[in-house]
Amino acid sequence: MTVAKLKVAVLISGRGSNLQALIDACAAAEFPAEIVLVVSNVADAQGLARAQAASLPTAIVDHRNYTSREHFDEAVDKTLRQAGAEFICLAGFMRIFSDAFVRKWEGRVINIHPSLLPAFKGTHVHEQAIAAGVKVSGCTVHYVIPALDSGPIIAQEKVPVLADDTPETLAARVLEAEHKTYPMALKWIAERNVRFEQGRAVFSNDDS
């Protein structure tokens, strides 16, 4: 019996290297998710070219065309539903959704963040890590809740912070980890090995 693949929309604002990692993972016949749409709020985002190269449908929803966050979110929501998306992966998407949007998609939106959350939320993450003098950093895939970079954690991978690291060298090392961790987390979700339940990430092997 063929099991239907999870229909995923990937939302981007820029480079799209995590999008590329997801595209590459989804190219495998046995991968349990497929990308049905790539949405960008930035018309010339580099990631859109990656989507087009992979023959994926794209949509641009430019936040500057909307008078409020809620109106922008409604436009994104409509675009996603029209494409039949069941699940959202945020991949360098630089907009914050309204609580209403997050509630509507509760348990069906994940994000990747370039630190070991709850450390170093927000922006300038690698600068924060170096300034704090941590010896280990990494990346986190988490469910999205209304509070920024605070949702239940699905997967993390650590990388060393070296004495001579700059934000750029650390970012490059973390990014390599991101490209492995994001497809892995999406696979777990699509296979129902992890689910969002009452504000927590519940893993199948936690049930025993």
Binding site for ligand GRF (CB under 6 A): 12, 14-18, 47, 91-92, 112-114, 175, 178
Nearest approach in angstroms of CB 188 to ligand GRF is: 18
Which residue's CB is nearer to ligand GRF, number 82 or number 166?
166
Report residue 205 as tokens.
């092997």
Distances (CA, A) of 104 to 35, 63, 82, 96, 132: 20, 19, 16, 14, 36
Nearest approach in angstroms of CB 93 to ligand GRF is: 8
Cα–Cα distance for residue pair 164/126, rounded to 1 Å: 13
Which residue's CB is nearer to ligand GRF, number 46 or number 79?
46
Query: Half-sphere exposure (CA, 13 Å, Cβ side) for 171?
Result: 10
Q: Where are the alpha helices (DSSP H) in the chain?
A: 17-26, 46-53, 69-82, 99-104, 125-132, 167-190
Cα–Cα distance for residue pair 145/98, rounded to 1 Å: 10
Q: Which one of 63, 113, 124, 126 is the catalytic residue?
A: 113
Which residue's CB is nearer to ligand GRF, number 114 or number 151?
114
Nearest approach in angstroms of CB 14 to ligand GRF is: 5
Distances (CA, A) of 23 to 77, 103, 126: 22, 27, 26
Active site residue 113: yes
Q: How far apart are the first and last CA of the chain?
A: 28
Which residue's CB is nearer to ligand GRF, number 73 or number 111?
111
Report, as residue numbers or ranges, the catalytic residues: 113
